[in-house]
Amino acid sequence: MLFTQELLDQSSLLRKKWEDEVKRVVSKNPDQKADWSTVSDLGIKRIYGPEDIGGMDFEKDIAYPGQFPFLRGCQATGYRGKYWTFRMFSGMGTAVTTNERWHYLLNNGQTGLSTAFDFPTLMGYDTDSPKAKGECGKCGVAIDTIEDFFDLTKGIPLGKVSTSMTINPPATILWAMYCATADIQGIPLTQLSGTIQNDMLKEFIAQKTLMCPPEPSVKLISDTIEFGTKYVPKWNTVSISGYHIREAGATAVQELAFTLRDGMEYVEDVIRRKGLPVDSFAPRLSFFFNSHIDFFEEIAKMRAARRIWSRGMRERYGSTDERSWWMRFHTQTAGCSLTAQQPYNNVVRTATEALAAVLGGTASLHTNSLDEVLCLPSDHAVQIALRTQQIIAEETGVCNTIDPLAGSYFVEALTNEMEEQAWDYIHKIDELGGMVAAIEKGFPQLEISDAAYKFQRQIDAAEKIMIGVNKYNVENEEVDIPLVEIDETVEQEQLQRLAAVKRNRDSKRVKECLEDIKKACEKGENVMPYCIEAVKARASVQEICDVYREVYGEYRDPGIY
């Protein structure tokens, strides 16, 4: 019990008086609207008090940072020891262009790198594939072979800067390129730190960069977890992502539940398939959340996430190493909350979302640029987005104390409610036979699609407000911000580069390497060492992915709605 009976009695008395007063006022001046709920449609009460959290146990449910259940943060010193990592996601055009952007960001005070790849790379196709036509360099950087990777990382101290790569089906290959590049430069793998997203379950659920069916996709992920555990101990081999689930239209609770259940699925697979003890690999699992526009809902979601994960690791998997109980996560502000209309307003949205992420205790953060809803971000827009983080960190004072919202009747009650609803989903997915089975049945996909449709209807009816979209619109608005464009010469340039690499490499060696990967796939061996050899021999992303597709089969989006 957080409160004495005496206090609760006192509160109940005062509350009754307050309720009477509310009734009196509302009868004369009715509320502005009937429905007060979060952006995810979670009902919110007019007020919260001691009775809303009176059942909590301080030691079991709250405690201090660095103490189970880690509600208040994973480590004891909060942001006083170190701010979150300022990590802006970037990638555009060729590797050379992206490398220039990286140096620009590092010179502006960014503290970690984060790579956006173009669609062909994300889907495991080379620039010279007919499927890649028109896409090269558009949504990120085009990487076909390790030669591109050398350009991408030129002048970047791989042993010192941590690098995140948003790559999923071909994650083994891009990570192999990173490891091989370091190896060629004489940097030991044990010094490398960074993250590969490598979370296929959320691809089937939401983001849809797809290659092979769910089961072998999870096998490839377990390969990377095993390889990282043994040889690249500072690398986060999977970033279990709610971001895309949310962007696809999920509610905050769905994002929380599906993401954590995905994480549990990977834990179970590595234990079963690789026979590794949970505490040998679980400390390197990392997470990635969205920070949407509903301020308190996001903070409560992040706090609940830490508590659910630590409880799950301890109770479901018998983990005894507290590092396995820590949920460390990256956050990105919500792209889907931004508007093409009156785009400068996006700076305000992003700042609010970034503040929520910080109050939620994020370990690393990307803030969207105001123009990202329209195009790839310009240098100036990126700078404002990065400065937003720096202002929050160094001017606002919010880093002075850890988890400042703890003990708030409202925030604690909302955190509890979201945790409870998330567990309901997690147990439902358990009943369906786990996340792979749930995905095959279309369960999370349909839940999200219901929520997305409902939200769109609410926007159209102006029941939920987006400024500039359904309120305070400007007629015949002219967008006056500069739009970054990737021109078609990028594709021509990249095609020539790829052709040159293919001409100059030892094609017999490439063939042998691909054959080795094929055998490893067929035998269920770990593919990572073979991928490293193959990329060193200049095998391309698509050549290796074609082996995966051949052995494991190709997955087509069933288009569930």
Write out the residues near other proteins by the rule CB under 8 A.
Answer: 119-120, 122-123, 125, 130-135, 138-139, 203, 207-210, 247-249, 336, 339-341, 373-375, 449, 452-453, 456-457, 460, 469, 473, 479, 483, 486, 556-559, 561
Rounded to a whole number of angstroms, the minimum distance from the CB of residue 557 to other proteins is 4
Please identify, using beta-carbon distances, which residue of 336 and 495 lies nearer to other proteins.
Answer: 336
By the 8 A CB rule, do 129 and 144 touch?
no
**Separation of alpha carbons 109 and 156, rounded Å:** 14
Residue 315 or residue 487: which is nearer to other proteins going by CB? 487
Amino acid identity at 459 = I
Q: Which is nearer to other proteins, 456 or 492 (CB)?
A: 456
**Nearest distance from C-beta of residue 127 to other proteins, angstroms:** 12
Q: Are 161 and 182 in contact (CB under 8 A)?
A: no
Return the H-helix or E-strand segment holding 85. strand 85-90
Nearest distance from residue 122's CB to other proteins, in Å? 7
Of 395, 415, 397, nearest in space to 406 by CA: 415
Nearer residue to other proteins within complex by CB, 259 or 362: 259
Check: CB of residue 59 under 8 Å from CB of residue 108: no
Dihedral angle computed from the Cα positions of residues 193, 198, 199 and 201, in that order, rounded to the nearest 10 degrees: -160
Residue 1 C-beta: closest distance to other proteins, Å: 44
Residue 135 Cβ vs other proteins, minimum distance, rounded to whole Å: 5
Q: How far, in Å, CA of 66 to CA of 54, rounded?
A: 23
CB 243 → other proteins: shortest distance, Å?
A: 13
d(CA 107, CA 175): 25
The least CB distance from residue 92 to other proteins, in Å, is: 11
Q: How far is the CB of 248 from other proteins (least distance, A)?
A: 5
Plot region of 551 (φ>0 → left; ψ -120 to 50 → alpha; else → beta): alpha
Is the CB of 128 or the CB of 223 nearer to other proteins? 128
Question: End-to-end distance of the chain based on CA atoms, in angstroms?
Answer: 45
Q: Which of 397/461 has CB closer to other proteins?
A: 461
Q: Tell me the C-alpha to C-alpha distance, in Å, between residue 145 and each of 156, 159, 494, 535, 544.
A: 18, 21, 11, 7, 11
Q: Which SS3 state, helix, strand or coil, does residue 114 take?
A: strand
Q: Quick one: 191 or 449, whose CB is closer to other proteins?
A: 449
Cβ nearer to other proteins, comparing 81 with 130: 130
Measured between alpha carbons, how far is 112 from 389 in angstroms, rounded to an integer? Answer: 13
Looking at the Cβ atoms of 135 and 223, the one nearer to other proteins is 135
Q: In the complex, what is the shortest distance from the CB of residue 560 to other proteins, in angstroms, rounded to a whole number? A: 8
Burial of 137 (0-12, 13-18, 19+ CB in 10 A): buried
